[in-house]
Amino acid sequence: MTDEKLYELVCNVSKEIFGKDFLHRAFFNKRLRSTGGRYMLRTHDIEVNPLVFEKHGMEELVGVIKHELCHYHLHIEGKGYKHRDADFRELLKRTNSPRFCSTLIERNKQVRASKYTYQCVKCSLLYNRKIRLNTKKFRCGKCLGELFLIPLEKLK
């Protein structure tokens, strides 16, 4: 889908659902990562993440457009356009617009393995860390013993 077709779709949805004209720009923004779209307060433009259409199809895209148009029309009219405002929530319900879009990015559920393991000289407590720490500056939290780095070869 092109930016021109997106603009036409936004204009059509605005006219059909809200009964009002959309007078600004609408376009895809590939740099959006975790959000489906956004309404720009200063320019009144609407940006949409292209992954919404690619991953979830036309129905989800129309949902994101309706959500952003709720922000747009309320802001233009000087009413509460923010997510927490009663005007916004009421317009979402009236237009059957989604509050959130579907997940666009897959979260990495694996916990990163720690690169460094330290052991206390006194109580032998192990500390796993992602970032190297200064053993002259830090001590054991349990007994204040000195810490030393255990080489990776000994851990395997």
- Residues forming the active site: 68
Residues 6+ apart with CB under 8 A from 91: 70, 73, 74, 97
Residue whose pair of structure tokens reads 């740099």 in the numeric block: 31
Residues 6+ apart with CB under 8 A from 78: none
HSE of 19, CA atoms in CB hemisphere, 13 A: 3
DSSP assignment of 19-74 equals: SS---S-EEE-TT--S-SEEE-TTT--EEE-HHIIIII-HHHHHHHHHHHHHHHHH
